[in-house]
Amino acid sequence: METMATVVRTKADYRSPNKPTWCPGCGDFAVLDALTRALASLNVDPAKLAVISGIGCSSRLPIFLNAYGFHSVHGRALPVATGVKLANPELTVLVVGGDGDGLAIGAGHTLHAARRNVDVTYIMMDNSIYGLTKGQASPTSQPLLKTGTTPFGNLDQPMNPVMLALAVGATFVARGFAARVEELAGLIQQGIEHRGFSFIHALSPCVTFNNTFKSLAERVTPLPADHDLTSRGAALQRAVEPGHLYLGVFYKVDKAGIYDRIQTITGGAEASRAELRRVMEQFA
């Protein structure tokens, strides 16, 4: 049996032979690199690792990893991941996908996986566009952005994924940026270590249809050192603070998840059955 001491891994050990098909310069390369760094730091056994995705450029990521993977249906990665984790709790389960995948067609699943506190790490690779389908507006596209579906400029307000995750009950919420790989790797590592639903908002620009590398680099700032990680109110305030796009861990608390609740119920049912058997034996 493998122990931490027996195998030492590097980030290369988590890469499959498949070469990424992303456009040169795509932010998703940096997310892949950060993820493999985090896995190597934690020395996760690839045989106990499952990475689930939806559909999109970002959702291709599991193909480039040495791990079990499931490239599912657009917007449906989280239900698949929930099933994988509940059936096989000893696996490390990661979910990757885009802003369209998790905030448009799959938005309902994002809310419910978070509120159930499913023990998976969800890395939302946000480029504020639909990359794979060649540049349509997404729920995080900036107002007035001209895209294939908004030729006169985007008329909608962007969603705030960090605020959303906090509001619906994620127990670990962080934001990182593809241009800061080491920092992003650290956030992913903490997310994997967290027991419960961890949400990592990874700003990962699409250089082909919405290249925001420069504008984001000018906006991002680290969360203040005195930020209280255990206060959801403080985290929400930081998430919506005007003029700030904070990077770092917004929130982290320990709470029972769906697996713990199932154990409690089934443990209770087993105790009732044992008591019933004891009573019935008196009449045997």
Ligand X SMILES: Cc1ncc(C[n+]2csc(CCOP(=O)(O)OP(=O)(O)O)c2C)c(N)n1
Closest CB 210 distance from Mg ion, rounded Å:
8
Binding footprint of ligand SF4, residue count (CB under 6 A): 12
Q: Residue 28 phi/psi, 5° resolution?
A: -65, -25
99 contributes a contact to Mg ion by CB under 5 A: yes
Among 92, 110, 138, 147, binds ligand X (CB under 6 A): 138
Instruction: Kindly state the smallest distance separating residue 208's Cβ from ligand SF4, in Å.
Output: 4
User: In whole angstroms, how close is the CB of 127 to ligand SF4 at the nearest point?
Assistant: 5
CB 202 within 8 A of CB 178: yes
From candidates 54, 98, 161, 248, binder to Mg ion by CB under 5 A: 98
* Separation of alpha carbons 111 and 92, rounded Å: 21
Contact window for ligand SF4 (CB under 6 A) among 23-31, 223-231, 237-245, 262-270: 23-31
10 Å CB burial of residue 63 (0-12, 13-18, 19+) is: middle
Closer by beta carbon to ligand SF4, 208 or else 231: 208
The verdict on 98 binding ligand X (CB under 6 A) reads yes
The listed partner (Mg ion, ligand X, ligand SF4, none) that binds 253, CB under 5 to 8 Å by sort, is none
Those residues with Cβ within 8 angstroms of residue 110's Cβ, 6 or more apart along the chain or in another chain: 78, 102, 103, 122, 164, 165, 168
Question: Three-class SS of residue 65?
Answer: strand
Binding of residue 101 to ligand X (CB under 6 A): yes
Taking CB under 6 A as the criterion, which residues in 50-69 touch ligand X?
55-58
Of 244, 245, 243, 249, the C-alpha closest to 227 is 249
Cβ-based neighbours of 88, under 8 Å, separated by 6 or more: 50
Single out the residue of 127, 140, 154, 212 in contact with ligand SF4 (rule: CB under 6 A): 127
Task: Name the CA radius of gyration of the chain, rounded.
Answer: 20
Residues that bind Mg ion (CB under 5 A): 98-100, 127
Residues that bind ligand X (CB under 6 A): 55-58, 74, 97-101, 105, 125, 127, 129-133, 138
